[in-house]
Structure 1
């Protein structure tokens, strides 16, 4: 399967402290570059104004002063100039959204995770400060709430109560350096858009299509795997969880190539995984072992559907269209690979297990050991073949089996329609064989069909790498 990009967003209740942490050489062992689109007072001013507005709103909970993106970079990026990389990624965000940013480029302690921290404001910086002066005296009580008269904040001794504030006429009572928060930064479409933007930007500097990343589609037949951070106490648990998810994903590939529709696989994923996991969480809370069990049962259910489904007939190259012929040849390769796997799963492995079960007695230990080794080797062979199955299609630019099958079915439909149109034309011409009739009933244009097939292919393949910009980090290091 294709590698997915990792871009995560989090809320920051202490933007000034967070900026200090990510940009400090004393606190970061592997800090390569820092960058700001605003001056050094940006963090302090943003925090102060956010807290003031939060206090005035009377909202409970923590004040979110800013947000942070963590963008994981492939290791190939270590060959490029760090400052250039960081500026390129930060300015991309700054240009698109018009808000100020502070960023840093790091490696983790073991140098296995090269990544960018990008802190951004949800408010735009005003061209000029918006300063409000009192046209008359203004009074605030201890809670910061504005009151009408001085008497409301005066104690029995005639003095202003502690914590109350008086703004005299002509003095500044409110000033703004930023606009109000833009709610779009809270929404899921924004994060999805950012993931698309930065995945495209990352891929722009990766010439090998097999190494390029894609954004995970939560509506696909696959389950996402989780990233394991450094010193994560749940590393073993996450790794086991990822293994269960990968087993489901490989089974989904087999289901697609066995002729089970994408809609059916999605239905199984929804009912057997998502709905059962939701019910489990509601009744028992989040239990990792239970979730893995749910995924394993869903995988077994999908495998039972595969066993019940006869392998579709081998595709034949009987249509004189280059694009579709090429797709058919890929389909044949993938089809043969799936057929080999199913033979091992449905024929060889069950026979070996039955043979092991029948091999009993104290004098047959050596024979049992031989059969057990054969079972292990067969299971390993199946696992290797399942992992390599998507590679047949990746070489041609398809990110996964689902994208390839979707393309193939769409192209197949176009070609079938062309053949129907061609047959109808031949029927019409055979009825009226005169030159006038042949001119009247023109055959369907093959070139327009070929163009349509190419468009379908390009739409579903990985995006080709764009021309690299002439910056120092675009060139391989010497």
Structure 2
């Protein structure tokens, strides 16, 4: 059974105390690694002070939020990753996306059944240049820290400055800002949903086994959510019919993504043609499932038109590339033949005498010994790319097969529309039967397209292509680094063992060692008797 993604967020009212708690080996039984994008603790203390000051100024009731924290549950197999690499990757990706400083720790619970990360992040960024305000005259502040106009307002009956009041003299700095205002994104209700999708995708890119993939539904994504039927539900048939329409849209989305339609276009079409129209329909007619079905079917028709346009462009581009390749091959053959002819003519002529040019050689020069670095190794994600490429090829082949069947269906429809007259009744019947058969074939082929990725434990085609694109980028980076290494140090880099292979070998060694221990124990017991 697939495991759902678990990510929670908390507001922190004591930032320094929380940092100490999650990073202390005395307080945590299984603390594996601590990492901060800003390791200077003074930064976090200043951040807490800044938030407290701003909170006091605002006069808001309640508690000051000094920072926020995400608790991220990880698959248990992630314990096999290098702890430093795992934590840095999870934290650095968040900083790359939001641009804020983070402090994180990798933990296991007491029974070692829940591997997780505590990640504290700042809502403010540090200014490159602090802004300072200098007093142009003496400034007076009362016990509450409020600015008052005259010195008289902070004096007691004897003419002395009251306790808690203060004076800032002319020329002194009375306000210094080192942080920006709070980033409004973190206060929005949608932030946690976005963070869940972001980290679920990142975790799924790093899983070592398909069974460890996490599941989450993105409300803002291109798909429509299906409803659970439940037991003894009197509306079971209606819900099933509604779910079938939703699944039909989801299959069309899968095909659109495989065809190369951008997710942005699909999401925009869903918003305009389904979400907005359903809202209008509910306002005017109330909640009617048959109207919802009509709206979704109309949206599917529009999406399929978009798919055909994109597929036609792809096919035309492929034909042009093939044509250019054939022309280039012809030119190469002609050039080769002409070169051979020229060489035959020149072979009778005497070869020119070449003079050897002496190169300057320093006999006393010593070779500088350079340390040869280890060859580049692919990341776990880059190692997945060849297998993901095979899945991508299967999806593309299936999509092209559907496209060919659809073209055949269009031809039959055209022939049927032109097949008129009294004596063509039997032909019309044959064409209609063929159309019905092709419709059934296309429907089953679309279902098959969506099921291909589910064989590999992906939730959807969208989830697959997110991982595929990320793996492709890392694989190309690895290939570039490997080519550079081979060019610099000579020789070919050997393919390092995959992480899965290393884990398999490690497990075998542990089993052999344990078996050896049992055998030795039995021998000792025999000797004792």
TM-score (norm 2): 0.49
CA contact under 8 A between 1:80 and 1:472: conserved in structure 2?
no
User: Cα distance 1:217–1:449, how it changes in 2: closer, same or farther (>3 A)?
Assistant: closer
1:272-325 per-residue CA deviation (whole Å, 9 max, x = no partner) reads xxxxxxxxxxxxxxxxxxxxxxxxxxxxxxxxxxxxxxxxxxxxxxxxxxxxxx
CA distance in 2, matches of 1:473, 1:122: 39
Deviation at 1:45, TM superposition (A): 0.7
CA distance in 1, matches of 2:137, 2:146: 17
CA distance in 2, matches of 1:460, 1:195: 17
Q: Secondary structure of the residue that 1:261 maps to in structure 2?
A: helix
For residues 26-41 of structure 1, what are the structure 2 equivalents within 5 Å?
26-38=26-38, 39-41=40-42
State the partner residue of 1:427. Answer: 416
1:327-349 per-residue CA deviation (whole Å, 9 max, x = no partner) reads xxxxxxxxxxxxxxxxxxxxxxx
CA contact under 8 A between 1:7 and 1:70: conserved in structure 2?
yes
Q: Does 1:136 align with 2:144?
A: no
Deviation at 1:10, TM superposition (A): 0.5
Q: Does 1:21 align with 2:21?
A: yes
Deviation at 1:100, TM superposition (A): 0.8
1:13-52 per-residue CA deviation (whole Å, 9 max, x = no partner) reads 0111100100111111100000111122122111111001
User: Cα distance 1:450–1:60, how it changes in 2: closer, same or farther (>3 A)?
Assistant: same
CA distance in 2, matches of 1:105, 1:21: 13
Q: Does 1:147 align with 2:148?
A: yes
Q: Secondary structure of the residue that 1:161 maps to in structure 2?
A: coil
Deviation at 1:193, TM superposition (A): 1.2
CA contact under 8 A between 1:138 and 1:168: conserved in structure 2?
yes
For residues 321-340 of structure 1, what are the structure 2 equivalents within 5 Å?
none
1:451-476 per-residue CA deviation (whole Å, 9 max, x = no partner) reads 98888777944426442677999665
User: Cα distance 1:449–1:429, how it changes in 2: closer, same or farther (>3 A)?
Assistant: farther
For residues 62-73 of structure 1, what are the structure 2 equivalents within 5 Å?
62-73=63-74
CA distance in 2, matches of 1:122, 1:141: 30
For residues 376-391 of structure 1, what are the structure 2 equivalents within 5 Å?
none
For residues 168-317 of structure 1, what are the structure 2 equivalents within 5 Å?
168-216=169-217, 220-221=225-226, 259-262=240-243
For residues 91-110 of structure 1, what are the structure 2 equivalents within 5 Å?
91-110=92-111
CA distance in 1, matches of 2:497, 2:13: 36
Q: Does 1:167 align with 2:168?
A: yes
Q: Aligned pairs, how many?
A: 298
Q: Does 1:126 align with 2:107?
A: no
User: Cα distance 1:53–1:20, how it changes in 2: closer, same or farther (>3 A)?
Assistant: same
Larger Rg: 2
CA contact under 8 A between 1:35 and 1:87: conserved in structure 2?
yes
1:243-276 per-residue CA deviation (whole Å, 9 max, x = no partner) reads xxxxx76889x958994423999xxxxxxxxxxx
User: Cα distance 1:260–1:44, how it changes in 2: closer, same or farther (>3 A)?
Assistant: same
Q: Secondary structure of the residue that 1:64 maps to in structure 2?
A: coil
CA distance in 2, matches of 1:251, 1:104: 47
User: Cα distance 1:168–1:263, how it changes in 2: closer, same or farther (>3 A)?
Assistant: farther
Deviation at 1:417, TM superposition (A): 8.6
TM-score (norm 1): 0.54
CA distance in 2, matches of 1:143, 1:251: 64
User: Cα distance 1:146–1:185, how it changes in 2: closer, same or farther (>3 A)?
Assistant: same
User: Cα distance 1:415–1:203, how it changes in 2: closer, same or farther (>3 A)?
Assistant: same
State the partner residue of 1:114. Answer: 115
CA distance in 1, matches of 2:231, 2:16: 45
User: Cα distance 1:53–1:77, how it changes in 2: closer, same or farther (>3 A)?
Assistant: same
Deviation at 1:130, TM superposition (A): 2.0
Q: Secondary structure of the residue that 1:166 maps to in structure 2?
A: strand
Report the more deviating stretch, 460-469 or 174-183.
Answer: 460-469
State the partner residue of 1:350. Answer: none
State the partner residue of 1:7. Answer: 7
Report the more deviating stretch, 214-223 or 48-57.
Answer: 214-223
Report the more deviating stretch, 201-210 or 460-469.
Answer: 460-469
Deviation at 1:155, TM superposition (A): 1.4
**Greater RCO structure (CA 8 Å; 6+ sep):** 1
1:379-438 per-residue CA deviation (whole Å, 9 max, x = no partner) reads xxxxxxxxxxxxxxxxxx9xxxxxxxxxxxxxxx999998974553121343499xxxxx
CA distance in 1, matches of 2:57, 2:143: 12
| Structure 1 unmatched ranges of 5 or more | 224-247, 266-396, 398-412, 434-442
Q: Secondary structure of the residue that 1:71 maps to in structure 2?
A: strand
CA contact under 8 A between 1:137 and 1:169: conserved in structure 2?
yes
Q: Secondary structure of the residue that 1:26 maps to in structure 2?
A: coil
1:130-186 per-residue CA deviation (whole Å, 9 max, x = no partner) reads 222222222211111111221211111111111112111122211122111112101
Q: Secondary structure of the residue that 2:3 maps to in structure 1?
A: coil
CA distance in 2, matches of 1:251, 1:69: 39
CA contact under 8 A between 2:193 and 2:218: conserved in structure 1?
no
Q: Secondary structure of the residue that 1:49 maps to in structure 2?
A: helix
CA distance in 1, matches of 2:36, 2:79: 21
